[in-house]
Amino acid sequence: MSDLFKPFILGSMEIRNRFMRSATTSYWSDERGIVRPEIIRLYGNLSKGGVGLIIKGHTYVMNSGKAHVGMAGISSEAHVNKLGELTDVVHMYGSKIITQLNHGGYKSIVDRAGPSEYREKGWEGRALTGDEIHGIVDAFGDAAERTMDAGFDGVMIHGAHGYLVSQFLSGLTNGRTDEYGGSPRNRMRFLIEVYDEIRDRVGPSFPVLVKMNCDDFSPDGFTVEDSVKVALAMAKRGMDLIEISGGGMGQVRELRLTRGKSDDPRFSEANFAGHAEKIHKAISPTPMGLVGGIRTRRCMEALLERGITEMISMSRPFIREPELVRSLETSQLEATCISCNECSRQGSSGKMMLMCYQN
């Protein structure tokens, strides 16, 4: 049997295979941030389809950090009941599920506030005070406790894609001159404090993961060299898994398409395989998940064999084919997703319900 379909131990959790559904937000929560029945069914279908580990689309840890209309919340006890229904459905069909905690920072639709004052290409925001930073750290801890109450199997910190943690990590968006800015060590202080707070709340055996960029793909932002330093620091601190993605504030499309690639043709479809290999060498034996462009079983197996990643993480292919894992295990050789990106549209056939435009 291919290693793709063998169980994998992650901390105290056994996952039935090496497939990970990368956190994919929908716009299908009500105005209070409570998930609706339709999205609960979607997660149930992913579990029925054989996905080993599901990362739920990001949830805001405090109301001021809400990034978009329809985003799910975990900022109050009012959110826990429906999230518990979601985890029950997922567990019924054998998958593990982890919630992703997030704060929008400059991308908030409530209060655009980040590490420092920022104005660039349509984005602008004020600087958080020290007391506000400490309050956000506490909010991540509160949300992690609610994660356990709702029956999730672990928790993930969203440290990628230009949201608040990513903004602190980037020299482009973090212009602070205090202990949270300047050197890479200072810029990662916020992430370390968030992790430590969560770990104190959930204990040593509850899996804690982070999603982080391998590169912001910005001329002046977070680089793969920065990523190696941050990933190593988090691995030493006890992070259970690091999922590698890419793209943040100020990203340039041409850099995103080229800078993270591997020179090995076996990994040509994996957008960040080159960067991921450097990071994995630094953090091993801490396991890694890798997302971005992976479509063929041949590439998936090669990534595992080369030791570039332990988990194959995908998003768009599971929107088109929730049953993809079962299909790959029997006879299918690759995902049928053509990466048209129509599923990223906010509309009835796009982000609203995570539907494939081609179906």
User: Residue 50 gets which letter from DSSP?
Assistant: T
| Block mean pLDDT (10 aa), the chain, length 359 | 94 96 93 95 97 98 96 98 98 98 97 93 88 98 98 98 97 96 97 98 97 94 96 98 94 84 95 97 97 97 97 96 96 91 67 72
Spatial separation of the C-alpha atoms in residues 55 and 25, rounded to whole Å = 10
Spatial separation of the C-alpha atoms in residues 51 and 98, rounded to whole Å = 13
Look at residue 347 in the predicted model and tell me its pLDDT: 62
Q: Which residues contact 109 (CB under 8 A, 6 or more apart)?
A: 66, 67, 68, 69
Q: Whole-model pTM above 0.75?
A: yes
What is the token pair recorded at 67? 């990034």
Condensed to tens digits (0 to 9), the pLDDT of residues 158-214 reads 999 999 999 999 999 999 999 999 999 999 999 999 999 999 999 999 999 999 999
Look at residue 346 in the predicted model and tell me its pLDDT: 63
Helix or strand (DSSP H, E) at 110: none
Cis ω before 285 (30° cut-off from 0): yes
Spatial separation of the C-alpha atoms in residues 312 and 287, rounded to whole Å = 11
8 A C-beta contact, residue 153 and residue 208: no
Cβ burial, residue 257 (10 Å; 0-12/13-18/19+): exposed
Nearest to 104 by CA among 164, 44, 14: 164
Nearest to 38 by CA among 87, 86, 93: 86
Condensed to tens digits (0 to 9), the pLDDT of residues 11-26 reads 889 999 999 999 998 8
Look at residue 353 in the predicted model and tell me its pLDDT: 64
State the virtual CA torsion across 83, 88, 90, 94 in degrees, nearest 10: 150
